[in-house]
């Protein structure tokens, strides 16, 4: 009986011990789970680089249109002589070619000259389609020779032309010799000579004007020193320099 009691006592102690351990275990797990749920979880965010597509940089050329400035047009440099509204009157900086004013030595005016035909056909067509669209057809006033009275013929409609004596005086400087001819003068030789000098292949050379010379088979010119020759050369002279002029749109 004594042994049986001892066994019962041990059994009771064992049951109590197991109950205690079970209860302790459960409490520990609850605490652990609760603790873990309160630990902040850090999420690493990687910045994604912004991908910018390759975009070509367009350099816009700003052209300043002002009287006396030089612009590029049709692969050549041009001097701006005048500006009206959205139009500019320009002349080539250099002599672009040497040609006769007219192929035969005969009385001729600008309207019938070979050089006018060349400028408004072959030379005009040497420009691109976009460039031609900017060239403005203009009424060209043709004045008689101011010193000799030689007939200049009718006014014309031209896209490209040569300057007249009056235009040269207006745009390059007026010493009033055109309107007040010095006694026995053949040329206008003044302080504006240098402004009228033009180069061909790097050297000063003379160039044609459209105005008639002292006779109808002559045309006026600017000589290589810059003076205005009011008598000038026979029209068939193939050494005459060409400086085209025109009005263009500058919108």
Residue 34 has pLDDT above 70, yes or no: no
Q: Tell me what pLDDT residue 207 has.
A: 98
Residue 149 has pLDDT above 90, yes or no: yes
Nearest alpha carbon to residue 133 among 64, 79, 69, 73: 73
Q: Tell me what pLDDT residue 64 has.
A: 75
pLDDT tens across 164-177, in order? Answer: 999 999 999 999 99
pLDDT tens across 84-121, in order? Answer: 999 999 999 999 999 999 999 999 999 999 999 999 99
pTM metric for this prediction: 0.75
Q: Where are the alpha helices (DSSP H) in 103-191?
A: 114-118, 124-125, 129-134, 165-172
Q: Tell me what pLDDT residue 44 has.
A: 37
Per DSSP, the residues of 22-51 read HHHHHHHHHHHHHHHHHSPPP---PPPPP-
Question: CA-to-CA distance for 250 and 211, rounded, in angstroms?
Answer: 28
Question: CA-to-CA distance for 251 and 245, rounded, in angstroms?
Answer: 19
What is the percent of the chain with per-residue pLDDT over 70, rounded to a whole number?
Answer: 75
Burial (Cβ within 10 Å: 0-12, 13-18, ≥19) of residue 15: exposed
Choose between 50 and 204: higher pLDDT: 204
Q: Which residue is listed with tokens 């990687």?
A: 46
- Three-state secondary-structure class, residue 240: coil
Question: CA-to-CA distance for 141 and 114, rounded, in angstroms?
Answer: 18
Look over the chain and give the mean of its residue pLDDT values, rounded to a whole number. 85
What the block records as the tokens of 4 is 């049986």
Residue 229 has pLDDT above 70, yes or no: yes
What is the percent of the chain with per-residue pLDDT over 90, rounded to a whole number?
Answer: 73
Residues 128-156, mean pLDDT to the nearest whole number: 98
pLDDT tens across 112-136, in order? Answer: 999 999 999 999 999 999 999 999 9
Residue 82's alpha-carbon distances to 167, 199, 211, in angstroms, are 11, 22, 20
Q: Tell me what pLDDT residue 152 has.
A: 98
CA 239 to chain centre: 32
């Amino acid at each position: 009986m004594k042994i049986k009691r001892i066994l019962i006592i041990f059994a009771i102690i064992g049951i109590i011990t197991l109950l205690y351990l079970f209860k302790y275990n459960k409490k520990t797990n609850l605490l652990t789970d609760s603790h873990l749920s309160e630990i902040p979880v850090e999420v690493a965010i990687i910045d994604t680089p912004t991908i910018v597509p390759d975009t070509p940089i367009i350099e816009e050329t700003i052209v300043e249109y002002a009287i006396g400035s030089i612009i590029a047009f049709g692969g050549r440099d041009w001097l701006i002589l005048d500006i009206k509204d959205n139009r500019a009157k320009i002349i080539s900086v250099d002599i672009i070619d040497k040609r006769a004013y007219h192929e035969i030595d005969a009385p001729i005016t600008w309207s019938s000259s070979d050089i006018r035909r060349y400028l408004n056909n072959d030379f005009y067509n040497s420009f691109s389609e976009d460039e031609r669209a900017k060239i403005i057809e203009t009424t060209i006033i043709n004045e008689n020779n101011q010193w000799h009275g030689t007939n200049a013929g009718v006014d014309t409609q031209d896209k490209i032309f040569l300057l007249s004596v009056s235009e040269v005086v207006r745009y390059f400087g007026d010493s009033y010799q055109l309107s007040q001819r010095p006694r026995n003068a053949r040329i206008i030789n003044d302080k504006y000579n240098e402004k009228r000098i033009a180069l061909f292949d790097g050297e000063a050379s003379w160039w044609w004007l459209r105005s008639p010379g002292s006779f109808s088979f002559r045309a006026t010119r600017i000589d290589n020193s810059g003076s205005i020759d009011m008598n000038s050369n026979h029209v068939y002279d193939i050494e005459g320099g060409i400086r085209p002029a025109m009005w263009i749109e500058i919108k």
